[in-house]
Chains A and B, each alone.
Chain A
Amino acid sequence: MIHRFDVVVVGSGAGGGACAHALVQAGLDVCLLEEGQRVPRQDQTTRPSEMVSKLYRGAGATTILGRPNIQYVEGRTVGGSTLINGGMCWRTPEGVLQRWVERLADPSLAPEAMTPLFEEVERENGVALQDPESLGLDNLAFRDAALALGWSLRENRRNQRHCAGTNHCILGCPTGAKQSTLESYIPRFEAAGGTLLASTRALSLQRFGGKVGGVFVTAAEGGRRSLIEARAVVLCAGSTYTPMLLWNSGLQNPHLGRHLHLHPTLKTIGLYDRPMVMWKGVHQSHQVTEFIEKEGILLASGSVPPSILAMGVPGFGREHAELMAQYDKMLVIGAMVEDTTTGRIRRLFGHPIPTYFLTQLDLVRIKRALDLTLTMHRAAGARKVLLPLHHLPVVDLDEGPSLLAAHEIDPSEIELMTVHLMGTCRMGRDRHEGVVDSRGKVFGYGNLFVADASVFPTHLGVNPMETIWVLARRTANRILEHREEILGVGRSVPRRSSTSDKKKH
């Protein structure tokens, strides 16, 4: 007899972990699929070249095409991007939630209605401030510079249990303090009887008109395709792969793959006369909030191992070596910019190709963000600053601001990156406005849901993990509240695949 799960959840990151955990705790038979492998704590090493192959999609060499090309990274491992992120946890800003309420005509998204959900996921994931001893010299320099300038600042709330400040967040967490889903939801999910299938790639969905019957999968390294049957499916594969799965399943929607927001991020590296030793201390401890509301710019420091930082240091050969020899006296300040435009995901031979073009307004914001990071470096006492600009790679602080002001930035010369891809299956009131409704149900399908950052109807302006958790929890709650209707418990689901599915596969 073929086993049919109540729910198959695709993707084990923030959305998949939170959703699968809630469903299995309520007694459902849940299968959690993850394309990447499971890399337990003891196998997480300090060698980036080894870990990016195991933890990152495309070994970290993933690019959004446009002007400029923007590097992006996402997790492809049990735990998804929660295993490789900095663990910053912020509730969705109230203003954003209010906009969503108006846009979606759903009062249950209002801040006061969402508060209990935020509190719940924060409890489950150990969201807390850092212990003071885990702050490094670079964290303190960043904080003190902001205080000296009189800029508003907040201490990071992170999903961690007494983070030791090993600063290896981007390669996992060797102590297990960071509560990625690998450490939080997934062990509890498995203890409650959930089934985790790692190294298993979801290819497409089995569809019957307005329902899905399961997920076609294969081993991550290839092989025979097989079907995992389910009464409902929740896609949490992220903003690039969730739309791909829907396309590959023959789903049509004019908004699918569109409305891609990025939070483009730039970094500047200050060279100092005093030690910063960025590898000792937490990855990021504070954020400058002074410019979020009016200018859409968030400033933060961020520490990474030398072999990763070196990729963004200008030059090569002797020039590069002389700069990198100062690694212990470097402070990295990054700026995350709320974008005013959107990109999209396109399909090429069954693979997602993100494209995105900066607008003039975004360029102005990026220039302003660069100037703000220079101001912070000056306040922190830097000598020189390395900029992410091909034609202005290094500036002395005395002349830096004026050089930058006079420099006309060509979009193709900026080095940007992002870890926040959002909005490619956005929520809407109906299928003319979006791909899913305000609780994640795909329009036109009774038992198909999306619960990841792709459902965001707008950008957030803050790190998105906590928003993903609560939206995934809302989706899980919806399945549980309507389980008779959605799962069809007691009714048989048709077993024969449709003609279109047969053709496709």
Chain B
Amino acid sequence: MIPVLPSLLRALLRSFFEVLQPRSEVFPFSLEDELLVSSERYLANFPRFFTWGLTLALLGLNIATSALLLRPVTFRGLPLSEREALCQRWSASRFMPLREVMRLLKILAVMGFYEHPRVMEAMGYRPDEWIAEVSRRRLETYGEEIDR
């Protein structure tokens, strides 16, 4: 049973995933919903206070945006290009906890993204086929020795 993330955290995560998820002509996919599901599954491994901490951190960034841009706006309310610029700035920050939050968000975004079947197909990455092929070859060549 996967616990459901607080709706506030889901909304905040989505606004970051829209920026952080890889996108190009090779990967023309918008996978925010899928990334939320995979993040939910991954974050279920951590104690509840971890999720609260992440929510607070993202809420803080959401609100701090207005102070940084000197106008009344939240991170969620910004257009993509401005969110990108802020994420760049925060990722390269000299303030370590901020960098760590951005690192975690990136991990959540890319881990779910590159595991998605459509992305794997676009990359030509088919590990299960490869494993099946070399496993068969291994047993054909060394089966007797392995069985001993």
Contacts and interface: CB of A to CB of B under 8 A. Distances in A.
Given A46-B131, A164-B137, A317 B94 contact: no
Contacts of B1: none
Nearest to A54: B45
A156 B115 CA distance: 30
B118 interface: no
B94 A162 contact: no
Contact of A49 (B112, B128, B135): B112
Interface of A: 46-50, 53, 58-59, 61, 63, 69, 131, 133-134, 161-162, 164-166, 168, 174-175, 177, 279-280, 305-308, 310-311, 313, 316-318, 320-322, 324-325, 327-328, 390-391, 412
B23 interface: yes
A318 B24 contact: yes
Interface of B: 19-24, 26-27, 38, 41-42, 45-46, 84, 87, 91-92, 94, 96, 99-100, 104, 106-107, 109-115, 120, 123-125, 127-128, 130-131, 134-135, 137-138, 141-142, 145-146
B111 A307 contact: yes
A305 B124 CA distance: 13
Contacts of A59: 42, 45-46
A67 B55 CA distance: 25
Interface centre among A59, A316, A321 (most CB of B within 10 A): A316
Contacts of A61: 46, 104, 107
B19 A316 contact: yes
B130 A280 contact: yes
Contacts of A63: 100
A161 to B, nearest CB: 6
Contact of B24 (A58, A134, A280, A322): A322
B26 A325 contact: yes
A162 B142 contact: yes
Contacts of B46: 58-59, 61
B111 to A, nearest CB: 5
B42 A49 contact: yes
A327 B110 contact: no
Nearest to B141: A162
B107 A168 contact: no
Contact of A310 (B114, B128, B142): B114
A164 B20 contact: no
Contacts of A165: 134
A279 B130 contact: yes
B21 A49 contact: no
A49 B125 contact: no
Contacts of A318: 22-24
A165 B131 CA distance: 8
A307 B134 CA distance: 22
Given A59-B42, A162-B146, A316-B106, A327 B123 contact: yes
B135 A306 contact: no
Contacts of A308: 111
B114 A307 contact: yes
Nearest to A328: B124
B54 to A, nearest CB: 12
B92 A390 contact: yes
A164 B113 CA distance: 28
A320 B127 contact: no
Contacts of B19: 316-317
Given A168-B127, A317-B19, 5 more contacts: A49-B38, A280-B130, A316-B91, A327-B125, A328-B123
A387 to B, nearest CB: 14
Nearest first, the 6 A-B pairs at minimum CB distance are A321-B22, A321-B24, A59-B45, A307-B114, A310-B110, A164-B134
B42 A317 contact: no
B94 A412 contact: yes
A174 to B, nearest CB: 5
A69 B101 CA distance: 13
Given A279-B125, A316-B22, A325 B130 contact: no
Contact of A69 (B100, B110, B125): B100
